[in-house]
């Protein structure tokens, strides 16, 4: 990943392992730049705004994904493509969290701090 020092947060991994946190980070940063609407349906973004949002998205994805979506010229289209590719991860993360929650037992931890840490990981 070239130019990692210029990135605001960790780039989207090609496996999608960090997709859920990446989506949150992208929405926050685009909102801060007043470009959030460029990834919404039926937006009236100018070409300059679309280009800025697309550059931002491409700068924060894995190089393999950049090559895969090389011909995409609209941030909304890229957003939807990535969403279609990785949206199923929500179901996987939820089922894992539910399983971890059901397996959580206080007596399995040496300290309350360890228990709380594990508990908050599951909740988040």
Per-residue pLDDT tens for 10-67?
A: 888 888 888 888 988 999 999 999 999 999 888 888 989 999 999 999 999 999 999 9
Mean per-residue pLDDT of the chain: 84
70 within 8 A of 45, measured Cβ to Cβ? no
- Banded pLDDT at 107 (limits 50, 70, 90): confident
Cα 95 versus chain centre, distance: 19
- Banded pLDDT at 124 (limits 50, 70, 90): low
Helices 47-59 and 75-86 sit at what angle, rounded to 10 degrees? 40
* Distance separating the N- and C-terminal Cα atoms of the chain: 27
- Banded pLDDT at 5 (limits 50, 70, 90): very low
CA dist 86 and 16 (Å) reads 6
- Quote the pLDDT of residue 7: 59
């Amino acid at each position: 990943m070239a130019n990692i020092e210029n990135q605001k947060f960790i780039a989207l991994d090609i496996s999608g392992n960090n997709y859920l946190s990446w989506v949150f980070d992208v929405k926050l940063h685009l909102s801060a730049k007043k470009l959030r609407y460029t990834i919404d349906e039926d937006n009236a973004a100018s070409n300059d705004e679309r280009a800025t949002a697309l550059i931002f998205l491409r700068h924060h994805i894995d190089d393999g994904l950049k090559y895969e979506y090389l011909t995409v010229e609209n941030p909304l289209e890229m957003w939807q493509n990535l969403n279609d590719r990785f949206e199923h991860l929500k179901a996987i993360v939820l089922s894992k969290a539910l399983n971890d929650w059901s397996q959580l037992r206080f007596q399995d931890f040496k300290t309350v701090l360890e228990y709380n840490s594990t508990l908050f990981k599951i909740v988040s």
